[in-house]
Chains A and B, each alone.
Chain A
């Protein structure tokens, strides 16, 4: 029987620091461009065992990075998945060696549009090659080799992270034992692409965008990027969650005329704050690049558009999780993945978690979600004979 201590989420992993590695092997991207070398920033939590079979890869989504758990010196906020990664937590750093990498094309230290293009000596900017989810997988594979890991105990990701986990299962079927695919989809819907295009247009319409070459001119399309994020942010939340959190409460002014302050709803103030915060931390070209990567993702395109034919290549076990109020990648999308996996005869479990938090639920505390992940991964660890 499981010990009681595993039932309550334990403390954080504590202070962590990122590492940087120069991958000194050429990476041929799906678009044909070759990156002769590239840099990856990553964090690890826990210890790789002597059999080197207890490693878990965390795949981040659109705006994520390598800082998934723990705290940086002086920071009050932990990594983006600290609820689920740490000692005694669902993704247990006492049992697993957890690798969280910032992927290429992003803007947190790994090679991307803000890095220097060796051919020109200037920032890549808008010229950074177009990326696919498989490019992230191949780059992660090179990091795996660098860390001398032969097989992942699990590859785990939410949203775009789940897409990478699925791609891993098809591209390197013998390199992972489990794929945990959370709030994800085999491809984007027209509505998903529509929201991404609105976001991209918001960025490109900013006069400071300069056709993507804003860095050379010491400018930044902060306004457009904030707007893009505001649009995206609304699609990550549910109507109910917004209603509960903000309702029609006012941040300033009132309707009885007792103040000169302009009327501003709390949701306006919140969204503007989120947009501005995001645009000061993220790169506009990366946002365009990665939303395009999402749009282009289609798990079964090269398998005759048959998800079943695609998953026939997989060898790992799958855990699928969706959230009831997620309207970006709704439970139906996860059910489709599950159906295809069953038809392909693969081991799969699927659970639809009740939540009013929308797509963002995959990042937030939820008792059932936590138990599902814990139960699944505890069994994975038990089977590895990990500590």
Chain B
């Protein structure tokens, strides 16, 4: 998973305790450790990713997020991060609750299924969208919960989650120009900074 979320470093305080859920090859943690001196830990289940983390000296713990996070105490981290993995969780809303229990703040990124591109794909081809971001067939995708920007906004409201920052990412034209006007139609990836 490539990460182009360097701007979230602006939301992270220097020297803070950071937990990265589904940390992949540990590049985000490695960057934030060198730039912000964070005390970071990543959770991951993919053995190849774990090996990469260990090779680059990132703290990585083998743990299946779907089996819960109850080994982490309330408020034990300043920030809990999850990039591009919420849609792969069995119960995303419970994971979100857990993240906000463990961390004072959370940063979440997810692919926006409401983008006009995925809508058009489904509407005109009649097939489940396979895009650069969602590069799987319906039968082998780890992404088992598709949701949109608007869905996530509604979830935050329902669960009394405070949105500190939101940022919309789109690289293609004209999405990159329109994403802030109509986020649900033109955002490829949404990034949220949350607290309770």
- Interface set of A (CB-CB < 8 Å, partner B): 319, 335, 338-339, 342-343, 345, 347-352, 368, 371-372, 375-376, 378-379
Q: Are B59 and A375 in contact (CB under 8 A)?
A: no
**Would A350 and B61 be within 8 Å (CB), given that A343-B73, A345-B17 are in contact?**
yes
Q: Are B57 and A379 in contact (CB under 8 A)?
A: yes
Is B50 part of the binding interface, using a Cβ–Cβ cutoff of 8 Å?
A: yes
Q: Are A349 and B61 in contact (CB under 8 A)?
A: yes
Is B151 part of the binding interface, using a Cβ–Cβ cutoff of 8 Å?
A: no
Q: Are A372 and B51 in contact (CB under 8 A)?
A: yes
Residues on B with C-beta less than 8 A from A319 are 54
User: Which residue of B39, B55, B60, B72 has the most chain A CB atoms within 10 A of its CB atom?
Assistant: B55
CA gap between A372 and B44 in the complex, in Å: 14
Residues on A with C-beta less than 8 A from B17 are 345
User: Which residue of B17, B62, B63 has the most chain A CB atoms within 10 A of its CB atom?
Assistant: B62
Is B35 part of the binding interface, using a Cβ–Cβ cutoff of 8 Å?
A: no
Q: Are B61 and A379 in contact (CB under 8 A)?
A: no
Is B76 part of the binding interface, using a Cβ–Cβ cutoff of 8 Å?
A: yes
Residues on A with C-beta less than 8 A from B71 are 335, 339
Contact of B59 among A349, A371, A372 (CB under 8 A): A349
Q: Are A349 and B47 in contact (CB under 8 A)?
A: no
**Would A376 and B41 be within 8 Å (CB), given that A343-B76, A368-B47 are in contact?**
no
Give the interface SS of chain B, mostly helix, strand, loop or mixed. mixed
Residues on A with C-beta less than 8 A from B73 are 343
Give B39's nearest chain A residue, CB to CB. A345
Closest Cβ of chain A: how far from B129's Cβ, in Å? 34
Q: Are B55 and A349 in contact (CB under 8 A)?
A: no
B174-187 CB mask vs A (1 if < 8 Å, else 0) is: 00000000000000
Residues on B with C-beta less than 8 A from A352 are 62
Contact of A349 among B39, B54, B72, B76 (CB under 8 A): B54
Residues on A with C-beta less than 8 A from B61 are 338, 342, 348-350
Number of chain B residues whose Cβ lies closer than 8 Å to a Cβ of chain A: 21
The 3 lowest CB-CB distance pairs between A and B, nearest first, are: A375-B55, A350-B61, A375-B54
Residues on B with C-beta less than 8 A from A376 are 54-55
Give A338's nearest chain B residue, CB to CB. B61
Residues on A with C-beta less than 8 A from B62 are 350-352
Closest Cβ of chain B: how far from A232's Cβ, in Å? 28
**Would A372 and B76 be within 8 Å (CB), given that A345-B17, A345-B39, A349-B60 are in contact?**
no
Near A by CB (< 8 A), chain B positions 59-115 give: 59-63, 71-73, 76
Residues on A with C-beta less than 8 A from B72 are 339, 342
Closest Cβ of chain B: how far from A53's Cβ, in Å? 17
Closest Cβ of chain B: how far from A351's Cβ, in Å? 5
Closest Cβ of chain A: how far from B33's Cβ, in Å? 10
Closest Cβ of chain B: how far from A344's Cβ, in Å? 11
CA gap between A379 and B57 in the complex, in Å: 7
Is B191 part of the binding interface, using a Cβ–Cβ cutoff of 8 Å?
A: no
CA gap between A350 and B41 in the complex, in Å: 11
Is B53 part of the binding interface, using a Cβ–Cβ cutoff of 8 Å?
A: yes
Give A347's nearest chain B residue, CB to CB. B59
Residues on B with C-beta less than 8 A from A372 are 50-51, 54
CA gap between A347 and B54 in the complex, in Å: 11
CA gap between A258 and B59 in the complex, in Å: 62
CA gap between A348 and B71 in the complex, in Å: 15
Residues on B with C-beta less than 8 A from A375 are 51, 54-55
Give B54's nearest chain A residue, CB to CB. A375
Residues on B with C-beta less than 8 A from A368 are 47, 51
CA gap between A300 and B62 in the complex, in Å: 24
Residues on A with C-beta less than 8 A from B53 are 349
Residues on B with C-beta less than 8 A from A335 are 63, 71
Q: Sample 24 A-B pairs with CB under 8 A, ordered by A number.
A: A319-B54, A335-B71, A339-B71, A339-B72, A342-B41, A342-B61, A342-B72, A343-B73, A348-B41, A348-B59, A349-B50, A349-B59, A351-B47, A351-B50, A351-B54, A368-B47, A371-B51, A372-B51, A372-B54, A375-B55, A376-B54, A376-B55, A378-B55, A379-B57
